[in-house]
Structure 1
């Protein structure tokens, strides 16, 4: 099966009102292969799409008009209604358009919350979630009024569906030491599941089921169906219209980025030079696209796809191709960071090193020119740390050694490569680069290690190793069961889920305003963790979720483009 996208439009030369002018170039093929035995191929004819000034203005005028209308409606609402609007704006993924309004609303709500009388469960839980999402610390004892001394919800609160849903959502933002809030979330989950089974025809069942499967804090809005509960039609219709127009504009931008990534990958030539290497530029682009959704980060999404691609290629080099002696030489060459030091390497390793050297140096130069800070030393350190982890895994496999679960996880969170991408992203974004923040970034901070922990354990939990992947990696479950004879796979998986939950608590804490790193970076880390279940959910041998998302992000976007920019005569 393949998704074939051809962005070619025939245009009559006699029609002066044509919106598109397209010039064809040499075909570029971008392969999205998630498994070696199954390829999802997206074929593009590289096109240069030149929209007329009139067409550009028409779309931007519609967007500006819709945005102005929503902002007018926003300021006309009271604080509570504005908070509901903020929630809907975030669920629709267009918060970048309302940064000042969102911060002002939540700052005001944070100040008001201290003096307000106790409200209903749904209101308190909703405000708790919204404020914590924005980085404000709210004590969980705000919920004490709703619980009896037996740890049960008082009175009819256990039958208040909206309140239970709101409390379940709020519990997803718990931090270490808030076991009480975790228990509340689990109890809400039990109540809601029981209610859904009893009242399976109720109009809210779909909403409840969706919430339990996809809590808003742990999902990416672009990948999640948006359900707006507000009944205030004065602004919901306008907001949805703005979201639709914005999605059309962003889809066009994503298409350009995909073509740019595909061209870079083709020009790099690694897919031709290295027979063993993966050839999946579209898949690799999905990470930056999802983790940096702000349209203003277009160039950063393209740049971050480059080191991400090299992580996968070098992973294949260590996992499939090289022997220990060769891999040790390659790692030492990266440590020296000198093109003259690679003569002893096999040709394929020379090609890999040259690609790594050039790509990293180019990003460092761009950052230096933009910010005045040369990040090359930090970037090299991140690569050395990764290669040391890859080499350790290769040595374990070659010797047949099974490490302890603690040894495995300590090394495996590095071998995910998450820190490499996040370090590159920190400098690429160019915000708050100081001696202090660089020192934090270089030291593998908690916000990076917890994100990597979530990725590694989710990957191991969902499949240990996808059956169609080549290579030889271990898994946490194998090491844990060796450490604990008599423990079954079910108990092991439950232990792993607990560790993932604990990592989320640490990540939640890091995202509070006490963090010394810029908020844009903490949000990137949070989005990376949110991306994990999408990229690492396997259904037997079929990557059904990945297939679905690739189709929705690329194929459906093509349809949107055709709807917007199709020629009118």
Structure 2
């Protein structure tokens, strides 16, 4: 039956579009050669066998080195004693590969090698996997998949235990982690994100650049998937880890390599190709829930990993995970639809729908909030964030587009006074001013009352001060735009980082995470630094996408402030700001991931998620003002259930 299968599929040997197991072109011809030496009648044409053997010899000469993983396809000419001295693991295997280890035992007796094979047969009886053991890799992939599917919160205790054990093994330099670059890259990324102190130098010198990587690692680890995991790991570097360091070097060559693979269309696995495209497009702008939907659409329970054989791990590709994730997504979606209805009622009751806004503020605000705070238990946090974005946009548009300076100043004075509109005797300067202030007054009071119950203390004054701060920054922006002398870049950023709105949205919503927060947290340098870094990322990315339009509108922008009077070229200005964005993003991640400090990790994550919004909105356009991709994402996230 096996021979019939080989004979009926011999055409696949010469089909370049076939997805082949690792080392197939070297191992399979040797198997056919062994069969011929045993005088087995093979249903394969002699010419095809000769072609396979010639291709095998050519492949061996081309690779020249790092063939240890497929040594069973080389035979007597391979230096087996050297392989045992350099590649044998503590469990007796070569590369944790039963096939390579068995071949080694044929050519060179080794007691530890024999013990390993007995152990594998005792475990699996009548069959053996392509790799054994691979427990750590499998567990880490499971952690990664559950997070990507958006259901990790159901298994938080178990997943934390996995990462704690992984960190212990990382410190002990466990072979199963350090000998597999893919596993090592995943471990580094997941551990760093969770706040464990892991050095990127542990990724090894063999991953510094593309040439060194492909020259020094075995065939087992030099595929696109390994490079993609290294690329992902390199995205979580800190300011001191620039292009001259391990992560910086990895980032440069992996991103270049993956882009080249897409350009040349050499990634045969179409799902992997989609994942590479998705990660390269806007890695830091992947909003949690949008990423969950993407992962669910790519998740295939029948998907196999192609090693020396096709291998499907039930704890990675799991029907139960898929069903749970779909149900969780649809439950969240149903709740988000109800919340949108509540927001629409609030919007109408506040008469905000009568303002001359040129963008769908409410729907966009709701979508962004649901995308970064999807947990069903965080409804109040989502509502406070969405309402704050909406109100900030309404006030900003009054200052920027249709309001006079007198109206803008009146809004600021009304907020500073914070008098009940029903008890005010004086009239408003305009209907817009009246609508905005009444909406602000009722909404902030409502949020303050809820937050006070959550926190066990009054927070109204703090929320009002946040509004005074941001509207003051709007005022400074307006006045500076009309001044004959433009501010310096530093002067502009000293107030423009506040006016982008990240600080007020984040600090308002963290009152509703179910965590008691002391007053000291909001006045701490740590909180100030988190606010500044996330706000500078958002402000500068916004400016980079809008500077041409804002130049025509005679508005302040960090690009145009640099290029004014020919100080620097447009390209230099953009380069300067891009570097500033990257520095502040890396600094923000460092603050979020570090375990010391007084701000709980759940709160710090809100700043990180807010940073993702800025990457999402200002990637290739201004998605907030002219949503393109967002329209599709809103549809898939809020309206289209998973079947």
Q: TM-score over 0.5 for the alignment?
A: yes
Match of 1:6 in 2: none
Match of 1:131 in 2: 191
Q: Which runs of 5+ in 1 are unaligned?
A: 1-76, 564-569
Match of 2:470 in 1: 386
Matched residues in 1 for 2:206 and 2:267: separation? 28
Q: 1:547 to 1:279 in 2, by over 3 A?
A: closer
- 1:192-213, Cα deviation, whole Å (9 max, x unpaired): 2334444535224444333322
Match of 1:247 in 2: 329
Alpha-carbon shift at residue 492 of structure 1 (Å): 2.2
- The one of 89, 107, 121 aligned to 2:146: 89
Alpha-carbon shift at residue 375 of structure 1 (Å): 0.9
Matched residues in 1 for 2:552 and 2:389: separation? 19
TM-score (norm 1): 0.77
Residues 235-244 or 447-456, more deviating: 235-244
Q: In the alignment, is the contact (CA less than 8 A) between 1:271 and 1:278 conserved in 2?
A: no
1:185 aligns with 2:244: no
- 1:331-383, Cα deviation, whole Å (9 max, x unpaired): 23322323467836413323322221221111111121233121112111211
Q: In the alignment, is the contact (CA less than 8 A) between 1:277 and 1:313 conserved in 2?
A: no
Q: In the alignment, is the contact (CA less than 8 A) between 2:185 and 2:229 conserved in 1?
A: yes
Q: 1:259 to 1:122 in 2, by over 3 A?
A: same
Alpha-carbon shift at residue 127 of structure 1 (Å): 0.5
Match of 1:436 in 2: 520
Q: 1:547 to 1:471 in 2, by over 3 A?
A: farther
Q: 1:218 to 1:169 in 2, by over 3 A?
A: farther
Match of 2:618 in 1: 536
Matched residues in 2 for 1:483 and 1:100: separation? 59
Alpha-carbon shift at residue 182 of structure 1 (Å): 1.8
- The one of 267, 278, 288 aligned to 2:369: 288
- The one of 275, 286, 293 aligned to 1:219: 286
- 1:198-243, Cα deviation, whole Å (9 max, x unpaired): 453522444433332243x652242232245863135523212211
1:338 aligns with 2:419: yes
Alpha-carbon shift at residue 177 of structure 1 (Å): 0.7
Q: In the alignment, is the contact (CA less than 8 A) between 1:451 and 1:507 conserved in 2?
A: yes
Matched residues in 2 for 1:186 and 1:365: separation? 50
Match of 2:536 in 1: 453
- 1:313-345, Cα deviation, whole Å (9 max, x unpaired): 111221123333442333233223234678364
Match of 1:47 in 2: none
The alignment's C-alpha RMSD in Å is: 3.0
Q: In the alignment, is the contact (CA less than 8 A) between 1:131 and 1:138 conserved in 2?
A: yes
Q: 1:196 to 1:317 in 2, by over 3 A?
A: closer
Match of 1:410 in 2: 494
* Superposed counterparts of 1:157-556, under 5 Å: 157=217, 159-179=222-242, 180=245, 181-198=247-264, 200=266, 202-203=268-269, 204-215=272-283, 218-224=285-291, 225-226=294-295, 227=298, 231-236=312-317, 237-272=319-354, 274-275=355-356, 280-339=361-420, 343=426, 345-347=428-430, 348-440=432-524, 445-464=528-547, 473-482=555-564, 485=567, 487-512=568-593, 513-537=595-619, 543-556=627-640
Match of 2:215 in 1: 155
Alpha-carbon shift at residue 105 of structure 1 (Å): 1.4
Match of 1:48 in 2: none
Matched residues in 2 for 1:330 and 1:140: separation? 50
Matched residues in 1 for 2:384 and 2:163: separation? 33
- 1:229-284, Cα deviation, whole Å (9 max, x unpaired): 86313552321221111112111111111111111111111223x34686631112
Answer 1 or 2: higher relative contact order, Cα 8 Å, separation at least 6: 1
Residues 318-327 or 225-234, more deviating: 225-234
Q: 1:190 to 1:133 in 2, by over 3 A?
A: same
Q: In the alignment, is the contact (CA less than 8 A) between 2:455 and 2:516 conserved in 1?
A: no
Larger radius of gyration: 2
Q: 1:276 to 1:209 in 2, by over 3 A?
A: closer
- The one of 182, 202, 217 aligned to 1:122: 182
Q: In the alignment, is the contact (CA less than 8 A) between 1:466 and 1:538 conserved in 2?
A: no
- 1:405-452, Cα deviation, whole Å (9 max, x unpaired): 2222222111011111111112122413113213228x8521122111
Q: In the alignment, is the contact (CA less than 8 A) between 1:537 and 1:545 conserved in 2?
A: no
Q: 1:365 to 1:176 in 2, by over 3 A?
A: same
Q: In the alignment, is the contact (CA less than 8 A) between 1:262 and 1:281 conserved in 2?
A: yes
Residues 409-418 or 457-466, more deviating: 457-466
Q: In the alignment, is the contact (CA less than 8 A) between 2:286 and 2:616 conserved in 1?
A: no
Q: In the alignment, is the contact (CA less than 8 A) between 1:386 and 1:417 conserved in 2?
A: yes
Give the length in aligned residue pairs. Answer: 478
Matched residues in 1 for 2:527 and 2:188: separation? 30
Alpha-carbon shift at residue 148 of structure 1 (Å): 7.0
- 1:377-418, Cα deviation, whole Å (9 max, x unpaired): 211121111011100111022224422222222221110111
Higher helix fraction (1 or 2): 2
Residues 220-229 or 413-422, more deviating: 220-229
Matched residues in 2 for 1:124 and 1:113: separation? 9
Match of 2:203 in 1: 143
Q: In the alignment, is the contact (CA less than 8 A) between 1:148 and 1:154 conserved in 2?
A: no
Corresponding residue SS for 2:640: helix
Q: 1:465 to 1:314 in 2, by over 3 A?
A: farther
